[in-house]
Amino acid sequence: MILKPRLEDIKNIGYYLGKVIIGLGLTMLVPMATGIAFGEINPALDFLIGAEIALIFGFILAKLCFTEQDLSWMQGMLVVSLSWLVATVLGAIPLYLSGHWGSYLDACFDAMSGFATTGLALVQDLDHLSLAHNLWRHLIMFIGGQGIVIVALSFFVKGATSAFKMYVGEARDERILPNVVHTSRFIWLVSIVYLILGTLALGTIGVFEGMKPLNAFFHGVCVFMAAFDTGGFTPQSQSILYYHSLPFELVTITLMLLGALNFNLHYHLWAGNRREILKNIETRALFGAAVITFLITAIGLNQTGAYAQAASLFRKGFYQLISGQSGTGFMTIYAQQFFNEWNHLALAGVIIAMAMGGAVCSTTGAIKMLRVGVIMKAMLQDIKKIILPDKAIVVKKIHHIKDIFLEDKLARSALLITMAYLCLYGLGALVGMWFGHPFLNSLFESTSAAANVGLSCGITSVAMPTALKFTYIFEMWAGRLEFMSVFTLIGFIVSTFRGK
């Protein structure tokens, strides 16, 4: 029997959702202050309006639903899934008010793309967008990369039980420190330290490449937030191609790889345990997959003869491959070049890389390399069981921060999530084909959306059908939350109407 949600459920969900919305409203004050500082009065007013709406809504919700009860697992999952939807709707307000988005739906598309660290965009005339709005586009990626509810866990949520249930609901099931609130703050510490270092590196390169210092460091901070949080937005419409700089590309590759690593691994590296990066099944699978997929891509590109020189192959082929594998979406080519210069084999290499993604408990989306590693190890274990005598006992361990026995439960969980992602990739591809796009194009764009990558072959545009926009928004949302919170919300809605 399905039970209807109780009033206590609604109050708990509303209270913690209000806390998250308050955090989002306060975050809008950053681009508002930027607009004031640079004399952008109208953009500053856009964020004042957005912040007022978010704060009023958040405070009313927190006041009406005030409770001191801890969240249940279901409630925690619902807070997370709803937080991302509400953040998208509210975060799109200042974007839409700027006049650079053709409709509110387009602004919501970019807001979801930003929070989900995807990078697909429908913004118009990006090269003339205000500094305040450009900063907001990248700031929501910085927030989304760490996780929207991480803001609430770090500053607004005190109960450890409720905090952990929200933390897990955002597709993070690894605690770096014993207390999940401290874990959230450590994630912010790592991100801010890298923010300072990455901005200095990119800004300095920009100055040496001829950019004005203020502009160089503004671009530096924006590109860092998108690179480390594997997002893909850039301040200019040409993406990384705009900078025409090998040092800039090398730094962004480093930042993309750092963002693709598990925050738990960052902790151990900071603690001096550098051997972990070589022992860990996840990093070994990540770098192994990058080598294999680049080999596939390079063979395909060699067949086309598009990039005959090694430097061109690195800057055009390898860069796109790492951008896809890390889930970033930075591009050093134009979208049309994927189908004008790349053949199907080269595209297949990038699609596979995008589909697999980076590490769990990182800023990336997609299947994640830990699951890929677990599935491969489980297959090897089953093959050994078949080959060896019936009485032989096969025990398999994997090393992920610590030695873990490879149990059926772990392998089954990895396989289920992998299958869910493959279905999501296929669903988006079918919708793209429904609207007349070729299969490989549709699969490329769908995988990019669902894996939160942001590489585009040209399908994502202002002119694409409304149904396709909603499809990609759903894919970005479901892919970023890794399904459980989404399934919980669907079940909650069903129980509301059919429960007893």
Question: Which run of H or E residues covers position 354?
Answer: helix 344-356
Summarised one tens digit per residue, pLDDT across range 384-437 is 777 767 665 666 777 777 777 777 788 888 899 899 999 999 999 999 999 999
Per-residue pLDDT, 262: 83
Q: Determine which of 98-112, 145-159, 222-236, 486-500 has the lowest per-residue pLDDT on average.
A: 145-159
3-state secondary structure of 324: helix
The whole-number average pLDDT for the span 440-458 is 92
Report pLDDT for 408: 78
Across the range 183-203, mean pLDDT stands at 85
Place of tokens 């807001």: 111
Burial track 265-283 (b if 16+ CB lie within 10 A, e otherwise): bbbbbeeeeeebeeebbbb
- CA 468, CA 478: separation in Å to the nearest integer? 15
Mind listing the pLDDT tens digit for each residue in 299-325? Answer: 999 998 888 888 888 889 999 999 999
Q: What is the per-residue pLDDT for 493?
A: 80
Q: How many CB atoms lie within 10 A of CB 454?
A: 32
Residue-wise pLDDT for 10-23, tens only, equals 888 888 889 889 98
Confidence of residue 155 (pLDDT cuts 50, 70, 90): low
Distance (Å, whole) CA 8 – CA 467: 36
| Amino acid symbol at 76 | G
pLDDT beyond 60 at 1: no
Mean pLDDT of 60-76: 81
**230 touches 327 (CB < 8 A):** yes
Cα–Cα distance list, 222 to 70, 277, 334, 345, 405 (Å): 37, 28, 20, 33, 42
Q: What's the helix, strand, coil split of the chain in %, to 5?
A: 70, 0, 30
Average pLDDT over residues 171-192: 68
State residue 448's pLDDT score: 94
Rounded-to-integer distance, Cα 214 and Cα 146, Å: 27
Which pLDDT band, with edges at 50, 70 and 90, does 29 fall under?
very high
pLDDT of residue 161: 52
User: What pLDDT score does 150 carry?
Assistant: 61
Burial 142-181 (b: 16+ CB within 10 A, else e): bbbbbbbbbbbbbbbbeeeebbbbbbbbbbbebbbeeebb
Residue 399 pairs with which residues in a beta bridge?
403
Return mean pLDDT, the chain. Answer: 86
Q: At what angle do helices 180-208 and 148-155 cross, to 10 degrees?
A: 120
Residue 170 has pLDDT above 60, yes or no: no
The residues, any chain, with a CB within 8 Å of residue 37's CB and separated by 6 or more, are none
Examine the pLDDT at 114 and tell me if it is beyond 60.
yes
pTM above 0.85, yes or no: yes
Radius of gyration in angstroms for the set of CA atoms belonging to the chain, rounded to a whole number: 22
- Answer yes or no: are the C-beta atoms of 14 and 86 closer than 8 Å: no
**pLDDT at position 441 over 80:** yes
User: Which of residues 179 and 232 earns the better pLDDT score?
Assistant: 232
**pLDDT over 80 at 172, yes or no:** no
Query: What is the CB-side half-sphere exposure of residue 73 using CA atoms within 13 A?
Result: 5
Mean pLDDT of 284-308: 90
pLDDT > 70: what percent of the chain? 90
